[in-house]
Amino acid sequence: MAPAKKGILERLNAGEVVIGDGGFVFALEKRGYVKAGPWTPEASVQYPDAVRQLHREFLRAGSNVMQTFTFYASDDKLENRGNNLKLTGAQINEAACDLAREVANEGDALVAGGVSQTPSYLSCKSKADVKAIFRKQLDVFIKKNVDFLIAEYFEHVEEAVWAVEVMKETGKPVATSLCIGPKGDMHGVSPGECAVRLVKAGAQIVGVNCHFDPMTCVETVKQMKEGVEKAGLKAHYMVQPLAYHTPDCNCQGFIDLPEFPFGLEPRILTRWDMHKYAREAYNAGIRFIGGCCGFEAYHIRAIAEELAPERGFLPSASEKHGSWGAGLEMHTKPWVRARARRDYWENLKPASGRPQCPSMSVPDSWGVTKGHADLMQQKEATSKEELEQLFDKSKTH
């Protein structure tokens, strides 16, 4: 019988680096298994082989955490705006747990059950209503005995606190990450204050995911850490950013960029950018380091390779990757062989190959958040009339 794996808190308490996985929603959308718009994870039921394979790629790249592919798997989201899947959240969550556990058992990885922000909160439903949605998802995670829980992708700390309060009822370790930047949540609560509220609610690991690029996210977590320490509290810290450069984003993050979601490819970080990110995060005292939308397995491998001295080993996927381009020594062309060195890749300034394109964009800034009429959600599909109103409104922003 295999020895029991160390839990997430045991690893973090020992100062170990825990490497998260990458962005399932975007990766599977590009592969044809997720629909952009609703971004719901029914692929866990409909295309389990695709989900299983992506888990395996991240495991091989060095990930210690297999997050269940349950992003937006609450019943209110699965039924939102005409998204008639004929699948329940419980069915999707159960299938996702089984897939994550199957692959986690192939290596030294833990399974994290995840919940996300809800349409019900945006539509101003009550605290009890929103908590009931989280509790329904968590029932499955407890039944499937996941190793720990993550509340991720929350724009409002108030809703994240509600999620943490429900998650603490389970007795499982709780991690919470907000999709915010240095300016704070969508109601203007600072990162430091957000972290304090989450820790007081019972989260043992706090941080950010999605919406912003790695360095912006690391800076945001630094502010969270400062806030927690100033309040005399203790926590572990996590960061799982975008794999896109977002220097031109406002408070809403990459969703406001005109390229979202189908024109973001020119912004993708290189594997060498990921080395810098991993080192910056580690130096900031963050020990749970992973990725979100845009992250592919080679990005996670770069994190694992950068932090190999601290972890004491390389990931399996490094078998097919020479350190800092060393594999190019075998290339047939001499000028490519000349690139088989660290200083070349560390100092490269990649060109986009798009001479007519700007280096930065002007984000949309509609300025709407919870409580605004435009964010009230519905089961019915968006009508042509509603779309026409939005098309007209977009011309004035």
Which residues sit in the known binding site?
A: 210, 292-293
Which residues are part of a known binding site for Zn(2+)?
210, 292-293
Sign of CA dihedral 25, 113, 77, 182: negative
Give SS3 for 345.
helix
Contact 86, 76 (CB under 8 A): no
| Alpha helices by DSSP H, the chain | 8-13, 24-31, 43-46, 48-61, 75-78, 89-104, 119-122, 127-143, 157-168, 191-201, 214-230, 271-283, 297-306, 308-311, 334-337, 342-347, 384-394
The phi, psi pair for 261, rounded to 5°, reads -105, -5
CA-wise closest residue to 288 among 122, 137, 112, 129: 112
Q: 137 is written with which tokens?
A: 């998802």
Q: 256 is written with which tokens?
A: 């406001």
Q: Which residues contact 136 (CB under 8 A, 6 or more apart)?
A: 74, 75, 89, 90
* Length in residues, the chain: 397
Q: Residues 301, 306, 312, 315: what is their CA dihedral angle, to the nearest 10 degrees?
A: 10
